[in-house]
Amino acid sequence: MSPPPKAKDGGTERNEWNPWRNLKHIFFNPKKKLRSFRNQPLEKDIKPTVSLPPPDIILGGLVRGSIYGLVALGYTMVYGILGMINFAHGEIFMIGMFTCVFALGLLSTLLSTTTLVNLLLATLVAMIFSAAFGYANERIAYRRLRKAHILAPLTSAIGLSIILQNFVFLTVSKDNISFPRVYSDQLNKVAFTLGGVHFNYLQFTILGTSLVLMAALFFFIHRTRLGIAMRGTAQDQLMASLVGIPVNKIIALTFVLGSSLAAVAGVMVSMYQSVAGWNSGYIWGLKAFTAAVLGGIGNIPGAVLGGLIIGLTEDITCYYFGSNWRNSVVFLILMIVLIIRPRGLLGERVADKV
């Protein structure tokens, strides 16, 4: 067999990300404009071009961001009402993932069909199951600690998170479990192709579902009687109870709402990444919590905004600098925002409680 032709510039040296050379390139050479460092050689004879991130990077970032936003709503609602961070929220998300996968398995055998109706039913089951978990968490771990020092419910939440993770790890699956391909493949079909880039129905489904749910929640809180009761409870629990608002029920409703939203996010993520794992809740939950803080914890549009910013930052960083830098850049932005605006981008209250 004859040896294959040699590549023209047989090396990777100049393609590699070198922070110092590239920073110098941006800041000390004003004639050249910012562009992707990754794929183009740094040579004088090549005309510098501004390379915007391709559309799949932007869409991927928006999808991740909308999921962060959806999960962040749960953190932010609980903080708004109780002033505590529910660290077990990520685990509720993970339980939603697993419930959906098992419900799908059960439904396919019971109904012997594999239509998208099954998927909707399984999502509903996951929502109900997660909501029950969220409600139980509130009853067992937080209600009795409501009057305690602020660190008590926080510790309780962290403990609950560890318990739930290990419970799933030990009793359900130590390995990642696969989302049934029959269902995800129906949504993973290519919707359209733009400039050689494939766009899946699933990505638009996730983006659309998240945005609709966020808008519905916003409407619910600002336009319905229950929503008004929730806002009242958030402002002053004692006064709310004096005017006849059932405070305990409203708080339970907050947990149920946040948990069912997290379950929907969990279902979509397990479909999107094609597996569900016992530690997925921790990973997505941590970023969602960061999104809530970035947007201003306690503020619902803030959670959505924070989620989208983090999702986009992650993917755009990955495009320009590589995924090694992803988390560093996200948390750097968080730090800068918190130094300039300690209450977050849209936050009204200073997050001084935790």
Partner 1 sequence: MQRHIIHTLLVVFIAVAAGLTGCSKSSDDHLKIGIAGVRTGTDGSIGGAMINGSIIAVDEWNAKGGVLGKKVELVIRDDEGKPDKAVSVARELVSNGVAAVIGHFNSGCTIPSSPIYNEAKILQITPGSTNPKVTEQGFPALFRIIGRDDQQGTIAAKFMREKLGLTKIAVLHDKTAYGEGFANEVKKTFLANGGQVVVFDGIPRTELDFRANIAVIKSSGAQALLWGGMYSQSGPLYLQLRQAGLDIPFVSGNGTIDPNFLDAVGASASNIYITFGPDYENLPAAQPFIKKYRSLYGKEGAYSVYGYDAANVLLEAIQAAGSADAAKVAAVLREKTFNTVLGPVGFDAKGDLKQSNDILWTVKDSKFVPAP
350 binds partner 1 (CB under 8 A): no
Q: Which of 15, 22, 115, 155 binds partner 1 (CB under 8 A)?
A: 15
Q: Which of 156, 161, 200, 237 binds partner 1 (CB under 8 A)?
A: 200
138 binds partner 1 (CB under 8 A): no
Question: CA–CA separation, 154 vs 197, rounded Å?
Answer: 45
Instruction: Provide, rounded to whole angstroms, the least separation between the CB of residue 77 and partner 1.
Output: 25
**Considering only 24-32, 134-142, 197-205, 290-298, which stretch makes contact with partner 1 by CB under 8 A?**
197-205
Instruction: Provide, rounded to whole angstroms, the least separation between the CB of residue 277 and partner 1.
Output: 7
Place of tokens 């608002």: 245
1 binds partner 1 (CB under 8 A): yes
* Residue 219 CB neighbour total at 10 angstroms: 11
- Binders of partner 1 among 141-170, rule CB under 8 A? 169
Instruction: Provide, rounded to whole angstroms, the least separation between the CB of residue 205 and partner 1.
Output: 14
Complex with partner 1: residue 138 or 314, whichever CB lies closer = 314
Q: Which of 21, 33, 181, 222 binds partner 1 (CB under 8 A)?
A: 181
188 binds partner 1 (CB under 8 A): yes
Which is nearest to 265 in space by CA: 73, 104, 75, 71? 71
- Binders of partner 1 among 71-130, rule CB under 8 A? none
171 binds partner 1 (CB under 8 A): no
- Binders of partner 1 among 279-318, rule CB under 8 A? 279-280, 282-283, 314-315, 318
Q: Which of 37, 57, 183, 330 binds partner 1 (CB under 8 A)?
A: 57
Instruction: Provide, rounded to whole angstroms, the least separation between the CB of residue 206 and partner 1.
Output: 11
**Considering only 100-108, 110-118, 293-301, 319-327, which stretch makes contact with partner 1 by CB under 8 A?**
319-327
Interface residue list for partner 1 (CB under 8 A): 1, 3-7, 9-12, 15-16, 38-39, 54, 56-57, 60-61, 63-64, 169, 174-176, 178, 181, 188, 190, 193, 196-198, 200, 269, 272-275, 277, 279-280, 282-283, 314-315, 318-319, 322-324, 326-327
